[in-house]
Structure 1
C-alpha cells in the first residue's frame, strides 16, 4: 500500500496530463490556474484508498480519481462566481483574474473534461461508474439550490440543513469511495458500506466546519473565524440557536441577525456568548460524533482484513481532529 503523499503524487500526475490542452488560451489557462491551487485532494485520495483495499495496480482507477478532482474544482469555480467570492485558497478567483463569462465557460469545460477522464474506466465497470457519478452530480446541484434558497429564508430547520450538506458536500465523498470500490471489483455490500462511511464522514466534516468557524483557532483552521456569524450564514449552529433561544437570548439573537450596521467583532462576540449559554457547541459536537460513529461502524463491517482498513480509519480521525 502506498503512503498518502505517494497517492497524492499519482493524482497530481494524472491531473497534469490535462495541461496538454493550451488553445484557446483564455479557455484552458483558468482551468490550469484552478487545478494548480492545490487543496487536500481528499476525494480522489479516498477513492484510491478504497481501491487499494482490494487491488494495488492503480492505472485503471487513476483517471476516475482525477475526474472527481476536476469535477470538484469545477463546482468551486462556479460557486465562487455565484457567491461573488474574491479569494479561493488565498488566491484571486477566476472571475476576478479573467471575467465572469470565462469563469462560466472554463467551468463547463472542466465538467466535460471530468467525463472525458471517467470514460477511461475499464469497460466492464463504466456503466456503474457513470451512473454513480451522474447521481452524485445531480444531487450536488440540488444541494446548491437548497443552499441558495436558505439565504432568503428565516425558517430553515436543522433537518433541512443536514439534508442540504448531505447533498452539497457529503455525497461526492461517498460516491468517490463507491466508484473506487466498483472499479476494484468489490461486492455490492462492501461498496454500500464504503459509501455509508464516506457520506457520514462528509456530514461530520461539514458540521466541524460550522463549529470551527466559531470556536476554531485561525492559525490552525486556516481562515478567519466568525465569518458565518457576521454574514448570518444558515449553519447548524445558528439554526439550533434559533430553535433553542427564548426570552432575552431570543431577542438579542434576532436583533443581531437583523441589524444592518454593526461592528464585526462585537457581533461575533455577542452571538458566540449566546451559543455558549445555549450549549450550541455541545449540540454540534454531539451531532458530529453521531455521524462519525456511524461512519466507523460502516467501515468496520467492510469485509477485508482490518489492517487494510487502518489508513481509512486514520484519515477519518485526522479529518475530525483539525482543531477541537
Structure 2
C-alpha cells in the first residue's frame, strides 16, 4: 500500500471527527475546520502554480497537483502555525513546498513502480512519457525550494535546512523499501527506520514548519516534530496490524494484503524472532510463494503471527511509540487544553479500526 493512501486514511479518518476539532478551534457554522484550511490552501496553490512555457514541462506539474487528495500535510502545517499563535496565511508557502515535494515524490515513485494510475487517474509518465515524468518531477523539487524564498532570512534558513534533511530522508526511506523486497535479512531497527523515513518525517516536518513560521520556541518546534514523528511510526505499526487482523468491513482494503505481497512488516520480523524452528521455516516458505488461492496462506501466516508472540509484541510497540509522542507533546509550551486534545487525537488514531 502506498504511503499516500496510508496517510490519507490516517488523518482523513481523524479529521472526520469534526466535534474533536471544533473543541480545539471553536465551532464552525457553515464549513468544518479542515475544509476551511483545505480550501484556503487549494486557492493559494492554484494562484502560485500557473502553467507557463514550456508547457510540456509545467502541464504535468499542474496535472498531478490537480488530482486532488486531502492535502493533509499542508493542512497540518497551517494548523500547527495557528496552534503556536501564528497565522495560517504566513505558513501557506511552507505548506505549498511540502505539498509540491510530496507530489514530486509520487511522480517518481509511479515511474519506479510502473504504476498506471494515481488517485484513479492516469499517471504522469503514462499520460505523457517517462522522460517528461522525470523532468517535470525534477522541476517540482526545485519549485519546492523556491516557495521558501519569500520568508525572512532566519526563517528561510530554518525551513530550508529542515526541508533538505527531510527530502533526503524520504529518498533514503524509499531506497530501503526497494532494497527490502529482495533481502531476507531485514532487521527490526532497519524496518523502523524505513517507515520513519518513508511516512513519518514528512508529517513531522510539516508540523515543525508551521511552528517555525509562527516563531515558536525552538524547543517547542523540536517537540512538535517528535510528536508527529513518533505518532506516525505508531500509526504505521497499527496499520501493519490492521492489515492482517483488521475488520474487512471497516478497514477499507483487502485483509492480508501485505501477507499476499510478502511484505516484511513488523509482524513478520517479530514472528521470525519468536517462532519455533518449524514455524519459522514454514513462514519463510509461505513468504516465498504467491499462490492463486491466497486465503489459506493468509490464515496460516496469521496463525504463526499469533503463536510466535508477534501480535503482542506489535501491540507493545504501538503503545511505546504513542507514549513517546505524548511525552514529546508534554514538552511543548502549548496550553494544557491543546495538549489534552492533541493527545486525544493520537489516542483516537491508535484505537481506530480503519
Same fold (TM over 0.5): yes
Determine whether 1:143 maps to 2:173: yes
The alpha carbon displacement at 1:62 in A equals 0.8
The count of aligned residue pairs is 324
Aligned to 2:143: 113
Pick from 267, 271, 285: which aligns with 1:255?
A: 285
Aligned partners of 2:132 and 2:310: how far apart in 1?
Answer: 42
Pick from 292, 295, 310: which aligns with 1:265?
A: 295
The alpha carbon displacement at 1:40 in A equals 3.2
Determine whether 1:300 maps to 2:330: yes
Determine whether 1:230 maps to 2:260: yes
* Cα displacement string for residues 76-126 of structure 1 (whole angstroms, at most 9, x for unaligned residues): 221222122333334343333333222212211221221122222333311
Determine whether 1:125 maps to 2:129: no
8 Å contact 1:61–1:121 — kept in the other structure?
A: no
SS at match of 2:183: coil
Judged with a 3 Å threshold, the aligned counterparts in structure 2 of structure 1 residues 264 and 88 are, in CA distance, closer, same or farther, namely farther
Aligned partners of 1:77 and 1:122: how far apart in 2?
Answer: 31
The alpha carbon displacement at 1:318 in A equals 4.2
Determine whether 1:220 maps to 2:256: no
8 Å contact 1:220–1:322 — kept in the other structure?
A: no
Aligned partners of 1:217 and 1:92: how far apart in 2?
Answer: 31
Judged with a 3 Å threshold, the aligned counterparts in structure 2 of structure 1 residues 211 and 25 are, in CA distance, closer, same or farther, namely farther
The alpha carbon displacement at 1:310 in A equals 5.0
Moved over 4 A (4+): none
Q: TM-score, normalised by structure 2?
A: 0.84
Determine whether 1:38 maps to 2:68: yes
Q: TM-score, normalised by structure 1?
A: 0.91
SS at match of 1:258: coil
The alpha carbon displacement at 1:23 in A equals 4.1
Determine whether 1:242 maps to 2:266: no
Aligned to 1:288: 318
Judged with a 3 Å threshold, the aligned counterparts in structure 2 of structure 1 residues 47 and 311 are, in CA distance, closer, same or farther, namely farther
Pick from 81, 96, 103: which aligns with 1:51?
A: 81
| Stretch moving more, 312-321 or 193-202 | 312-321
Unaligned runs of 5+ in 1: none
Please tell me the root mean square deviation across aligned C-alpha atoms, in Å: 2.2
Aligned to 1:101: 131
Aligned partners of 1:210 and 1:276: how far apart in 2?
Answer: 14
Unaligned runs of 5+ in 2: 1-24, 27-32
Aligned partners of 1:178 and 1:99: how far apart in 2?
Answer: 36
The alpha carbon displacement at 1:226 in A equals 2.2
Judged with a 3 Å threshold, the aligned counterparts in structure 2 of structure 1 residues 218 and 83 are, in CA distance, closer, same or farther, namely farther
